[in-house]
Structure 1
Amino acid sequence: MAWMAWTWPTAAFFAVIASLLIVFTVLAVKFPETPRRGVLGIETTRGDRLFITLLGSAFLNLAWLGFEVAPQPYALLACLVYAAAVFRFV
């Protein structure tokens, strides 16, 4: 990791993202699903909902930093609630 000057939290972040992609790929192969229509009115699959969750979590964290709502680790809790809502209702 020294050649890229990464910190451990950055490496852990990308490792988690890579793990999620691998897990969702295995799930898609073992348990194929049909798209479902949620509150957005568009058909989404697990992968679509994961993408929406990751994108929304990035914006949530940026807003959390910008508005200085509370210490940043609390944003993780907000992101988990957001992710649960996306996977349930979208």
Structure 2
Amino acid sequence: MAWMSWTLPTAMFFITIAVILISMTAWQIISPCIERRGFLPLATTRGDRLFIGLLSSAFIHLAFVALTDVNIAVATALCAIWMIVLMRWG
């Protein structure tokens, strides 16, 4: 049976996702949000924009790995900018 190798980057990834989810839950309890329209073609809440951002960031990383020889840090920086834009104006 093969077991997953829990390297430091893997652990940091899952810890970061857990912290984001806990923070978003606390933010929702403290300050409930309402749906709003931004540049996305649908009304979204903070959680919707987070989900869309995480999913699209995964696809951006996959595209960088599959289609370029550019360092993955460039994709990570691009995804961080994309998440900021999406959460603020999406």
State the TM-score, normalizing by the size of structure 1: 0.89
What residue in structure 2 maps to residue 13 of structure 1? 13
Shift of 1:4: 4.3
Secondary structure class of the residue paired with 2:71: coil
Q: For this pair of structures, how many residues does the alignment match?
A: 88
1:28 aligns with 2:23: no
What residue in structure 1 maps to residue 58 of structure 2? 58
What residue in structure 2 maps to residue 41 of structure 1? 41
> How far apart, CA to CA, are the structure 1 residues paired with 2:10 and 2:69?
23
> How far apart, CA to CA, are the structure 2 residues paired with 1:47 and 1:78?
21
> How far apart, CA to CA, are the structure 2 residues paired with 1:54 and 1:7?
21
Shift of 1:40: 2.2
Shift of 1:8: 1.0
> How far apart, CA to CA, are the structure 2 residues paired with 1:69 and 1:53?
23
State the TM-score, normalizing by the size of structure 2: 0.89
What residue in structure 1 maps to residue 89 of structure 2? 89
After TM superposition, the runs of 4+ consecutive aligned structure 1 residues lying more than 3 A away are none
> How far apart, CA to CA, are the structure 1 residues paired with 2:4 and 2:70?
31
RMSD (Å) for aligned C-alpha atoms:
1.4
> How far apart, CA to CA, are the structure 2 residues paired with 1:62 and 1:26?
31
